[in-house]
Amino acid sequence: MDFDVLIIGAGVVGLAVAEQFTRHHYKVLIAEKEPKIGTGVSSRNSEVIHAGIYYPKDSLKSALCLRGKHLLYEYCPQNKVGFNKTGKFIIATSKDELLLLEKIKHNASEAGLNELFLTTQQEIKNLEPDILCHGGLFSPSSGILSAHELMESLKQKVEANNGDFLFLSTVKAIEKNSQSDGYLVEIIDSSGEATEIEVSKIVNCAGLYSDEVAKVLGVFDDSYKIKFSKGNYFKFAKPKYLFRHLIYPVPLPKLHGLGVHVTIDLNGQVKFGPDVESMSGNIEDYSIDENRRESFYIAIKKYLPEISLDELVPDMTGIRPRLASENEFNDFIINEESSKGFPGIVNCIGIESPGLTASLAIGEFVFDKIK
Ligand SMILES: Cc1cc2nc3c(=O)[nH]c(=O)nc-3n(C[C@H](O)[C@H](O)[C@H](O)COP(=O)(O)OP(=O)(O)OC[C@H]3O[C@@H](n4cnc5c(N)ncnc54)[C@H](O)[C@@H]3O)c2cc1C
């Protein structure tokens, strides 16, 4: 074998998987189609360390978010990755929503998150004077981090443990080698030149294109189909408020996301979003439709009544690798494909939020599946 493990994709998930295998002395190759790490979904998100509030009990999202959060709060200070355990308020903008807060608290506790505290209007006012609400829930274990510093740190660890990166490279074909039980993989570089390597395990961490890569690997399944879903962010044209916590409204029903919320980055910069915009095709279009300003204004004004429409300007967008299924809840798909006749191949598909929070736990989980 040329390598023990081939990892396809150098976003936060591929890097976390690579870090696990190289730490355990496996010979690892990461193939990435772009010229550097972290140019995909991992570089266009809210950089929030999620507490694990909304995911159903026994789901992978719940288990890996809770474990991943714990691992990140250990990893970040040990490895000089910027983070801040800010805490987050989920606020009720109407009296009716106060009842929903109780329900959220109950569901979170069922799924293993017991640290959510009901807070009064006055308590929130004392900490976040600009926010208007009827009360809220406080999540002390929510926070923020620098996704880029995390990815850079993981890359350095992989390299220190002799992992290899192949940039501007995509996997074009694989074939089982019945004599060695390995896989012959054809990789094409940017000049179109093909290289063939033999590996014993393959992990698909290709984010937005993980369904396409599953086709190339010969292990596609209809449930793997991805439909891009855009998330837009707006910000203030000039800095206006200083927030110390993340502020989220009560989430919207069925696949419509967590509601337009306030996120802060490590420099204290405020942005609002992401909303959920369905896209007509799977095309990486990161433009923002200015007409969405009005819907942001309406959502934000509920808890920041002093804002005006013309203060909001487009910020950035990200695209979720969302499973195409219209189920009320879609879990992460992390499947080892022995049942399809491809032992040692793992697909990581539909790794949308909380994939950044869960990344280190996904690394452990994949390693345990095929070590
Ligand atoms: C708007 C938005 C907000 C979010 N906010 C949060 C948040 O606050 N907290 C949180 O925990 N999560 C959040 N997420 C989710 C999180 O960003 C993702 O779950 C995570 O970044 C996914 O990482 P990844 O490595 O799977 O994908 P990516 O970062 O996209 O990495 C995949 C890599 O594979 C490469 N690739 C693709 N095809 C091929 C190929 N054929 N060959 C070689 N390489 C290939 C790509 O170039 C890319 O580098 C958010 C997501 C979005 C869209």
DSSP-derived secondary structure for 94-148 = SHHHHHHHHHHHHHHHHTT----EEEEHHHHHHH-TT---SEEEEETT-EEE-HH
**Which class for 33: exposed (0-12), middle (13-18), buried (19 or more C-beta within 10 A)?**
buried
- What integer is the mean pLDDT of 196-212? 98
What confidence tens digit (pLDDT) does each residue in 65-107 have? 999 999 999 999 999 999 999 999 999 999 989 999 999 999 9
Q: How far is the CA of 43 from the centre of ligand 1 (A)?
A: 7
Q: Residue 240 and residue 297: Cα distance in Å, rounded?
A: 15
Ligand 1 closest atom vs CA 213: 41
> What percentage of the chain reaches a pLDDT higher than 90?
93
pLDDT of residue 240: 87
Name which of 244-258, 285-299, 321-335 the model is least confident about: 244-258
Assess whether pLDDT exceeds 80 at residue 256: no
Are 20 and 366 contacting, i.e. CB atoms less than 8 angstroms apart? yes
Q: How far is the CA of 231 from the centre of ligand 1 (A)?
A: 13
Q: Residue 305 and residue 83: Cα distance in Å, rounded?
A: 30
Q: Hey, what CATH topology would domain 88-140+226-323 get?
A: D-Amino Acid Oxidase; Chain A, domain 2 (3.30.9)
pTM beyond 0.95, yes or no: yes
Are 265 and 83 contacting, i.e. CB atoms less than 8 angstroms apart? no
Beta-bridge partners for 347: 204, 335
* Beta strand spans in 205-238 (E): 226-236
Q: Hey, what CATH topology would domain 3-49+148-225+329-370 get?
A: FAD/NAD(P)-binding domain (3.50.50)
Among 49, 260, 356, the mutation site with the greatest number of ligand 1 atoms within 8 A of its Cβ is 356
What confidence tens digit (pLDDT) does each residue in 264-276 have? 999 999 999 999 9
Token pair for residue 23?
A: 């730490």
Who lines ligand 1 at CB under 6 A? 8-14, 31-34, 39-42, 44-48, 50, 170-171, 205-209, 213, 231, 274, 318-320, 351-357
Average pLDDT, the chain: 95
What confidence tens digit (pLDDT) does each residue in 30-56 have? 999 999 999 999 999 999 999 999 999
For the chain, where are the alpha helices, taking DSSP H only? 12-23, 60-78, 95-110, 121-127, 147-160, 210-217, 293-301, 355-370
pLDDT of residue 251: 85
Ligand 1 closest atom vs CA 348: 26
Assess whether pLDDT exceeds 60 at residue 255: no
Are 273 and 248 contacting, i.e. CB atoms less than 8 angstroms apart? no
The distance from CA 368 to its chain's CA centroid, rounded to whole angstroms, is 21
Among 7, 8, 33, 45, the mutation site with the greatest number of ligand 1 atoms within 8 A of its Cβ is 45
Q: Residue 293 and residue 311: Cα distance in Å, rounded?
A: 10
What confidence tens digit (pLDDT) does each residue in 163-188 have? 999 999 999 999 999 899 899 999 99
- Domain spans, the chain: 3-49+148-225+329-370, 88-140+226-323
What confidence tens digit (pLDDT) does each residue in 11-30 have? 999 999 999 999 999 999 99
pLDDT of residue 328: 86
Q: How far is the CA of 321 from the centre of ligand 1 (A)?
A: 7
Q: How far is the CA of 296 from the centre of ligand 1 (A)?
A: 24
Token pair for residue 19?
A: 């870090």
- What integer is the mean pLDDT of 311-324? 97
